[in-house]
Amino acid sequence: MKTRIKELRARYNLTQEDLAKKVGVRRETIVFLEKGKYNPSLKLARAVAKALQTSIDELFLFDE
């Protein structure tokens, strides 16, 4: 699974640490999400999408 987290985070001038604090996780979790090495829970996906003012569908690109 690919994500647009890094791209959207840059748009809002947020560091990985800033985003992590907004959604209540560790910075390492954001790193793993950005690299596609971690599949988030629905709760976390919603929190990240909300923090980046986008939808889950726009944030996460699912491979067919």
Which CATH number belongs to the domain containing residue 20 in this structure?
A: 1.10.260.40
SS3 12: coil
Q: What is the pLDDT confidence band of residue 64, given thresholds at 50, 70 and 90?
A: low
Torsion angles phi and psi, residue 2, rounded to 5:
-100, 155
pLDDT class for 46, splitting at 50, 70, 90?
very high
In this prediction, residue 40 has a pLDDT band, given cuts at 50, 70 and 90, of very high
Q: Which amino acid is at 8?
A: L
- In angstroms, how far is CA 5 from the centroid of its own chain? 4
Share of the chain above pLDDT 90, in %: 86
* pLDDT, average across residues 40-58: 96
Q: What distances in angstroms separate CA 52 from CA 20, 24, 64, one per listed residue?
A: 11, 14, 24
**pLDDT, tens digit, for every residue of 6-35?**
999 999 999 999 999 999 999 999 999 999
